[in-house]
Structure 1
Amino acid sequence: MANHKSALKRIRQNEVRKVRNRYYHKTARTAIKVLKNEEDKAVASEQLPKVVALLDKLAKKNIIHKNKAANLKSKLTKYVNKLA
């Protein structure tokens, strides 16, 4: 168990950040799943910028790696462009 006030505070901060990061990551994964299941090109094209913005925010906050975000954005853009 931690003995210093600063260590106790660090434990509290880490827990809060862990929960928040998990929420952001799960929200982005759900948005990606919804976009991948979309059949209509117009709706998918409308959703794509929102999903890309979510991925950029995750990469900026180091929740996911920037290259992973880039790969996901590339795959999603290809998918949306391929829709008829």
Structure 2
Amino acid sequence: MPQHKSCKKRLLQAEKANAMNRSTRSAIRASLKVIRTAATKAAALEEMPKLFSMLDKAAVSHRAGFCANRAANYKAKVAKVINGLA
């Protein structure tokens, strides 16, 4: 356990950030799974704005290790999957 007050605070901040990053990453992965397993293109297109919104928010706040380029790469991959659906 940390001894200094600042170290205790930093530990709490790290735990909070870890929980937020984990939930963001989990939500993004769940949304990706919905799109990849969609039976129709319409179902995938319905989920796409939700995923893009999550990616943009994560990129702005640098949450869960997402920078702008990583979010853009995810978007490009999702668009490629959706365009491949019949």
TM-score by length of 2: 0.85
Q: Which is further off, 61-70 or 44-53?
A: 61-70
The Cα shift of 1:81 comes to 2.1
1:74 aligns with 2:79: no
Q: How many residue pairs end up in the alignment?
A: 84
- Give 2:59's aligned residue: 59
Q: Which runs of 5+ in 1 are unaligned?
A: none
Query: Identity over aligned residues, as a percent?
Result: 39
- Give 1:17's aligned residue: 17
Q: 1:47 & 1:83 partners in 2: Cα distance?
A: 14
Q: Which runs of 5+ in 2 are unaligned?
A: none
Write the deviation string for residues 34-75 of structure 1: whole angstroms up to 9, x where unpaired: 111112111111111111111111112212122111111011
Q: Aligned-pair RMSD on alpha carbons?
A: 1.4
Q: 1:77 & 1:49 partners in 2: Cα distance?
A: 11
- Give 2:50's aligned residue: 50
The Cα shift of 1:12 comes to 0.8
After the TM superposition, which segments of 4 or more aligned residues of structure 1 sit over 3 Å from their partners? none
